[in-house]
Structure 1
Amino acid sequence: MSRRLLAAMTGALSQLPPITLDKVLAESELQTRVDRKYLVPIATFVELVTRLRDRFGVLEIDGQRSFRYESVYFDTPSLGLYRQHVQRRRYRYKVRTRSYLDSGECSFEVKLKGNRSETVKSRMPYSLADRARLTEPAWEFLAEQLRTAYGVGIVDRLQPALTTTYRRSTLVDRVEHARMTCDVDLRFFDGRASVDVLPAAVLVESKTAGRAGAADLVLRELQVRPIQVSKYCVAAALLNPQLRANPWHRTLRQLTRSG
C-alpha cells in the first residue's frame, strides 16, 4: 500500500468513533444481505467518511483499525464454480476459507446466491492450519448447505484454486443495521502467478438488509456507481487470461489501472 493511500485512509478513519468487535457481531452480522460494491478513488473515500462521521463507527481492536485478511477459494479442476458465475446461473455459489491473520482465527464459508439478488453466507469455525484444504466436516457442511438451499448435491470434488489477501477496515451504521467494508492492498495468487490490484482506490462494499443504506446514498451523491465485482471471479480472470470474463471487463481495467 502506498504511503499516500495509507495516510489518507488513516486520517479519514480517525474521524470515526471506535466500535468493538462484540458490537459489530451483535448489531451488524448480516448473513442474508444485499451487497453493493464500489471502486472509490481515495479522495472520494475521504469525503465519504467525512459525510458519514456522525452516523458510522469503525471497528477497533487493540488500537488497530485495519486488519489483514486471507481467503482461499476452492473450485473444480475446470473452474466450474467460476463458470457458473460467468453464465449467471440462478444457483451459483462460492466456497472459501477466511483467515483473520492478525488474530489467527479462521472460518469455512459458503456463499450462495439467494432470491432478489441476496447473498446468503453460512460459515463454521475452522482450523487455521487447514485453511488450504477441505476437511470432512467442511464437505459435510457444504453438502448440507447445497441440499437445503438448492436441493442438489456436490457435483465434483473441490480443490484450492487461488488465494486473495488484502487489508480491511469495517464501518458500522449506528442508526440502522448496516455495515460497510473498505478493502485496500489486494493481492491475488495461485501458485503460478500473482497480481496486485487497487493501486489508488478503495473497494467499498455496502452490506444492508435490502434497500440502499446511508453509505449508498452518499456514494450516489458523490457520483460513484455500483460495479459488478467478485474478488474470486476477477482474481481467476486476471490469473487465467484465457478465461471468458465478460461481466467484469470494465472492472478488470479499473482494478489494475495505475494510480
Structure 2
Amino acid sequence: MNAPADNFARFGAVGLDEMIADAALLARVDRKYVIPQTALAHLLGGIDDGTRILEIAGARRFAYESVYFDTPDLLSFHMAAHPRRRRFKLRTRTYVDTDAAYLEIKTRGARGTTVKDRSEYDITRRAVLTRRAKEDVAAAFAAIGVDTRRVDELDATLTTRYSRATLLAPDGSSRATIDTDLRWERPDGAGFALPGLAILETKSPSSASSLDRLLWRAGHRPVSVSKYATGLAALSPDLPRNRWGRLLRGAFSEPSTTISHPEELPCAAA
C-alpha cells in the first residue's frame, strides 16, 4: 500500500534550498514513530494548512536506497543493540530520482559527541567501499578508539529502500519525514517488506512540535527504531532483540509482512 498522493495535495510546496535554510539552525530533538499507513490520512488531515512539503521538479515523494556496511561479527549492530558511548554507523545513501549517492559516516565518541561526515560517492560503486572511503572510515574509527584495522573487514550487510516525503512547519521551526514502501534485503537475497507501515520522524527544538502532539493525541508514542539494526534483527532471530523487542513482536511481525525473493529487491550495483 502506498501513501496516497492526495494525502499531501493540500500542502504548499517548498524548494530544497529553502527547506535547508529554514531548518539548518535547528537545535533538534528527533522523535520516531511507527504507525499504520491507514492512520496517515487522518493525521495529515489535522496538520496546519500552512505546512509545506518538499517538492522537486513536481515530485513530492522520493525514492531512497541505503547500503549499510558492517564487520562479519556485526560490530556496528552490537554497538547499537547494547548502547555504548563509542559507536558508528556506516552507509551509502542513494537518492534514486536524482542519481546522486553519498557516503555517510556517523560516529559517537567516549564523550558522547556525535559526528556525521557526508561526502559524494560514485553511484555505480555504492554497494562497495572504495579505497578512499576506507581511508575516511579509518580516520573516523581512530577518532573514537576503534581499531582501524577493522576497516578491511567491512562489507555490505543490509540494503534498505523506501519512499520519503518531507514536511516543513509554517514557521519553519520543525520538520518531519514520512517513509513508506519500506523494504529490507540482505546480500544473500533474504528480505522483507512492510507495505502497511510508515516510519514518521519529527525534528524540532526541545519542545514537542504540533505534529508530535497530534500523534500523541492519536495514541502514537515515540519508539526506538533503526532501519539498519531493527531490520537486521527482524531478519536474524539469533541477534539481540531487547532494544527493539516491542516492535519486533508487533509492527515488524504483522501478517502483512512479506518475505521477498531476490529478484524483487535487486542488489545495488557494485
The TM-score with structure 1 as length reference comes to: 0.87
Cα RMSD (Å): 2.5
Contact 1:28-1:177 at 8 Å conserved across structures: yes
Distance 1:234 1:240 in 2: 10
Instruction: Kindly indicate whether the alpha-carbon contact (under 8 Å) linking 2:35 and 2:220 is maintained by their aligned counterparts in 1.
Output: yes
Select which of 53, 71, 77 maps to 1:76: 71
Q: Any conservation in 1 of the 2:182–2:197 contact (CA below 8 Å)?
A: no
Alpha-carbon distance change, 238 to 43 in structure 1, aligned in 2, over 3 angstroms = closer
- The number of residues matched between the two structures is 253
Instruction: Pick the aligned partner of 1:156 from 120, 141, 150.
Output: 150
Distance 1:40 1:119 in 2: 28
Q: Secondary structure at the match of 2:188?
A: coil
Once the two structures are TM-superposed, the CA of residue 138 in structure 1 deviates from its matched residue by: 1.9
| CA separation of 1:187 and 1:83: change in aligned 2, threshold 3 A | same
Counterparts of 1:176 and 1:76 in 2: how far apart (Å)? 40
Q: Which runs of 5+ in 1 are unaligned?
A: none
The counterpart of 1:54, out of the listed 49, 57, 78, is 49
Provide the C-alpha distance between the structure 2 equivalents of 1:128 and 1:120, rounded to a whole number of angstroms.
Answer: 23
What does residue 240 of structure 2 align with?
Answer: 244
Residue aligned with 2:97, SS? coil
Which residue of the partner structure matches residue 197 of structure 1?
193
| Structure-2 separation of matches of 1:159 and 1:32 | 34
Is the 1:187–1:194 Cα contact (8 Å) retained in structure 2?
no
Provide closer, same or farther for how the CA distance between residues 67 and 114 of structure 1 changes in structure 2, counting only shifts above 3 A.
farther
SS class of match (2:46): helix
Q: CA deviation at 1:137?
A: 2.6
The worse-fitting range, judged by mean Cα deviation, of 49-58 and 166-175 is 49-58
Q: Cα 1:78–1:116, aligned 2, differ >3 Å: closer, same or farther? A: closer
The reply to whether residue 228 of structure 1 matches residue 193 of structure 2 is no
CA distance in 2, matches of 1:245, 1:44: 27
| TM-fit CA distance, 1:63 | 1.4
Aligned to 2:261: none
Q: Write out per-residue CA displacement over residues 112-158 of structure 1, whole angstroms, 9 at most, x where no aligned residue.
A: 3479988653211111012111123322333344445x355536121
Amino acid at match of 2:150: D
Q: Describe the shift of the 1:26–1:185 C-alpha distance in structure 2 as closer, same or farther (beyond 3 A).
A: same
Distance 2:51 2:109 in 1: 28
Give the 3-state SS of the residue equivalent to 2:232 in structure 1: helix
Q: Deviations over 1:171-210 (max 9, x none)?
A: 1223134221111111111122333333322110112344
Normalising by structure 2, what TM-score? 0.84
SS of structure 1 residue aligned to 2:83: coil
Q: What is the Cα deviation at residue 67 of structure 1?
A: 0.9
Percent identity between matched residues is 36
Aligned mates of 1:114, 1:222 — CA distance in 2:
37
Q: Which amino acid aligns with 2:163?
A: R
Q: Supply the distance in 2 between the matched residues of 1:128 and 1:43 (Cα, whole angstroms).
A: 34
